[in-house]
Amino acid sequence: MRHADPIREEGFLRSDLAAMLQPVRDLFERRADRPKPTPIETRICSSRIRQRMSRKEASMIDPRMTKLAETLIGYSTAMRPGEKILIEAIDIPVEMTCELIRVARGAGADPLVLLKSNRVDRALRIHGSESQMNLMAEVEALRMSNVDAYLGLRGNWNIAEFSDVPPAAHKLYQDTVWKRVHIDIRVPKTRWVVLRWPNTAMAQQANRSTECFEEFYFDVCTMDYARMGKAMLPLKARMEATDRVRIVGPGTDLSFSIKGISAIPCDGKLNIPDGEVFTAPVRDSVNGTLQYNARTIYQGVVHDNVRFEFVEGKIVKATSTATEHLKKVLDADEGARYIGEFALGINPYITEPMLDILFDEKIAGSFHFTPGQAYEEADNGNKSNVHWDIVCMQDAAHGGGEIWFDEELIRKDGAFVPADLALLNPENLK
């Protein structure tokens, strides 16, 4: 049976429908007669819409993200109107990337964004060819050479993601992309800052609940770095006036010179979290033994109980819980067996290692002694594609130890001894 059509079969319903639609016709006719907005009115309207959207987006963002974005854009990279910043976001929430874009534009800067994935990067390295890596280096170098600042946010759901990448593939990446983009351009020619992003993997590494670790992370990353920077100045002056350094502790008796090499305070301008003052030993001056006591990870391989023996600057014996891998790294090139950095960690909120070097190297009461490339700002002439920060903690809870500058005791069991350095002790920085 066909269904009846009341409009077709009952004419009175047609007139009713026409009457119902007349107000709609009138509305469209009135709108058609309305004058069109001028270009200026259109721009003002669009601007107001963008402002409303910006306020709405900001109100939906975790306020801790906003505070961190403001720290990174306003303090760490100190962006100015007209400058360009590259935001490299690796496995981090899109909300944070969008907030960085909003804050950067609010400062008058032009943000470029490069989204990456560790799983994708692993595949690129495992299956990569030399021509492919050279092209990647060329493209990324072009981008890096056209910005004033670089902001690298690095998430990682699996700290061992690169553990099965062959050593030859790691070396190919380091010799091409890493060297030509980061060592040759980013580090010496941009204002840069790098930070990890908190996730469950990092919380597990730190042996904390996810919520507890997030609170710790944002406290550490948004602390008063300007205040820390002022407190670092006397330590910088002492290091630059020092010739001989001696470090003693469990399994450690190490001596070297830092004469004539600059000391660089790190107060949130390069890394977040931050909190170290670094220099470098005179390349051939290092002698003795060094027993590290913090676990470390390099190329996805975890090492514990790393121990080095030095003769005239060179690591002549090296052992760890992964000795064979350790030797392969140290044999990567000539400079890998020499030290490129010596630094003292002073961040008061970081007290335990968590197998993440951007945190561990800042542990209050620690130092790190780094095989490989020296930084240009504190250059001892050592060249290498390796730069491996390995940490030794010297607070009482981790065995204690002493650091001496030219026969003067500077730090004992993790606490600075001279009065002019006391402001760097944890109780005075929090």
Report residue 171's pLDDT band, with 50, 70 and 90 as the boundaries.
very high
| Mean pLDDT, the chain, integer | 89
The 3-state DSSP class for residue 163 equals coil
Distance CA(204)–CA(175), nearest Å, equals 32
Residue 212 parent element (H or E): helix 210-221
Which segments of 34-155 does DSSP mark as H helices, in order?
39-60, 63-70, 94-106, 118-126, 130-144
β-bridge partners, 277: 265, 344
Strand extents, DSSP E, 320-414: 339-345, 366-371, 391-393, 402-405, 408-412
Copy the structure tokens of residue 209. Answer: 């609940």
pLDDT, residue 46, reads 52
pLDDT tens, position by position, 41-72: 445 445 554 554 455 555 578 999 999 999 99
Place of tokens 């044999």: 331
pLDDT, residue 49, reads 46
The 3-state DSSP class for residue 317 equals strand
Q: Which of 213, 246, 284 is nearest to 401 (CA)?
A: 246
Average pLDDT over residues 107-127: 97
pLDDT, greater one: 3 or 318 = 318
Burial class from Cβ neighbours inside 10 Å (0-12, 13-18, 19+) for residue 422 reads: middle
Neighbours of 55 (CB within 10 A): 10
Neighbours of 251 (CB within 10 A): 15
pLDDT, residue 204, reads 87
- pTM for this entry: 0.72
pLDDT above 50 for 7: no
Rg, C-alpha atoms of the chain: 29
Strand extents, DSSP E, 138-190: 149-154
Q: What is the percentage of the chain residues whose pLDDT exceeds 90?
A: 78
Three-state secondary structure readout of 396-424 = HHHCCCEEEECCEEEEECCEECCHHHHHH
pLDDT, residue 21, reads 52
> Would you say 82 and 109 are in contact if contact means Cβ atoms under 8 Å apart?
yes
Place of tokens 């509305």: 27
> Would you say 330 and 318 are in contact if contact means Cβ atoms under 8 Å apart?
yes
- Spatial neighbors of 179 by CB under 8 A, at least 6 apart, are 137, 385
Copy the structure tokens of residue 334. Answer: 């000539």
pLDDT, residue 6, reads 33
Q: State which amino acid sits at residue 390.
A: I
Domains defined along the chain, listed by start: 49-219 (3.40.1830.10), 224-429 (no CATH)
Buried b / exposed e across 164-180, counting CB within 10 Å, b at 16+?
Answer: ebeeebbbbbbbbbbbb
Q: Range with the lowest mean pLDDT among 110-119, 120-129, 151-160?
A: 151-160
Phi, psi at residue 282, to the nearest 5°? -55, 130
Distance CA(314)–CA(306), nearest Å, equals 16
- Spatial neighbors of 15 by CB under 8 A, at least 6 apart, are none
- DSSP 8-state secondary structure symbol assigned to residue 122: H
Place of tokens 């400058």: 83
**What angle (nearest 5°) sits at the alpha carbon of residue 380, between those of residues 374 and 384?**
40
The 3-state DSSP class for residue 249 equals strand
Pairing relation of β-strands 408-412 and 110-116?
A: unpaired
pLDDT tens, position by position, 174-220: 999 999 999 999 999 999 999 989 988 889 888 899 999 999 999 99
pLDDT above 50 for 113: yes
